[in-house]
Structure 1
Amino acid sequence: MAVSYLRRSGKKILFRNYRGPKGGELDIVARDRDFLCFVEVKARRRRSGSRPLDAVTPEKQDLIERGARSWLALLPHNDFQWRFDVVEVILEEGELPEICVVEEAF
């Protein structure tokens, strides 16, 4: 669902579910114009009371950052801009999912 949404909004999906050799992880690696985006996907039910972004704790951010460093180390050069985004998916029974992209989330 998140990948389809990102594609529809013009982003190119480069990789899904990347796991770095030293424990880092990335849900999605995408390209948005001149930016390389490391994207975390979080879903919540509307009645949960908290927003999906709240689940991206400092510990989770560390895992994502380790994954990004590992991904960048694979590239022959990394003289481009990059950022961390979060795709929030809010689910409610009987309704279409609500999707929101938070660019530069942390």
Structure 2
Amino acid sequence: MEGPTSSSRFELPCITQSLTAYHRYELQIRYLPEHFVESLKENRTTLLYFYQQLRNDYMQCFASKVSEGMALQLGCLELRRFFKDMPYNALDKKSNLELLE
């Protein structure tokens, strides 16, 4: 028994696999409201989920096709986003460098 052949995000692998691997469900944000920026500012959890969804989709589809320079810039932007509340002099401490590794 094969799964659907459409390009949807719902996948059904071959029935010979284990039962837990048989069904794969993904929750994705498909439609955005007309003024989604204001809505996402009010609901930070949805904003972060939407960001992770876009990042994962990008990594699956395009990560192998970007140049090394672009990959480095994207990595730096992700580090800035992750450590945005950390003061600049905090990276001088050895314990924080271990966190970055």
TM-score (normalizing by structure 2): 0.28
Answer 1 or 2: higher relative contact order, Cα 8 Å, separation at least 6. Answer: 1
Question: Which structure dedicates a bigger proportion of its chain to helix?
Answer: 2
Question: Which structure dedicates a bigger proportion of its chain to strand?
Answer: 1
Rg larger for: 2
TM-score (normalizing by structure 1): 0.27
